[in-house]
Structure 1
C-alpha cells in the first residue's frame, strides 16, 4: 500500500476545508513512512489534528490500525492555516488510487 505517488485524489470536502499546505504535509508524511522498510502500510492512514493556539502550532497524529503505529508531528500555524479547524482526515489506498477524504465523506 502507498507504494506509488500516482493516482492521488482529494474529495470535495478536503478541497474546500483543508488548506493545500496541510494536504501536502499529509501526503509527505505518508511518503516518508512508506519509504521506511520497517513499516508495512495499511490501506487506511489516519491523521488527527489538535490546535495549540497559545504555541501557534498544530499537533498532527499520524496512525494506522494494522499493523499499528502512531507518529507525532508538529507544524506552525501559518497564514494559510489560520482558519483550519478539521480534526481528522483519512487517506485510503485501494491499490488503484489513493483518496484523501473527511471521515463523514466515507
Structure 2
C-alpha cells in the first residue's frame, strides 16, 4: 500500500477492498483485470463503494449502513495487479 492509503483509508476499509478483489477472483464470475477501481462515497449514514473494472467490463455497488464515518471525503482507490505483487493506491497518487 502507498503512504496515501495508509494515511487516508481506515484499515478495515483496506481489508474490505482486498476481500472484494479476492472474492471476485475466486467466483470466476468475470476474468479479473489488472486494474480494479473503487469509488468510495458517503450518502447520509451509508458508505457506498462502487467496484469497477474496464476489461472485461464489471461493476458492482456495495452499500454499508452506518459506515459513512469510515471516509471523510469521496475517494477513488486503485488496486493494480503486477503479477508478483499487488498495490493499493489513491487515484491522485497515480
Task: State the TM-score, normalized to the length of structure 2.
Answer: 0.91
Distance 1:77 1:88 in 2: 20
Tell me the CA shift for residue 93 of structure 1: 0.4
2:68 is aligned with 1:65: no
**Which has the higher Rg, Structure 1 or Structure 2?**
1
Greater RCO, 1 or 2 (C-alpha within 8 Å, sep 6+):
1
- Greater share of helix: 2
Gaps of 5+ in 2: none
Question: Post-superposition, which runs of at least 4 consecutive aligned residues in structure 1 deviate over 2 A?
Answer: 76-80
Question: For 1:6-85, what aligned pairs fall within 5 Å after superposition?
Answer: 10-53=1-44, 56-78=45-67, 81=70, 83-85=71-73
Distance 1:30 1:68 in 2: 14
Contact 1:62/1:71, CA 8 A, preserved across alignment: yes
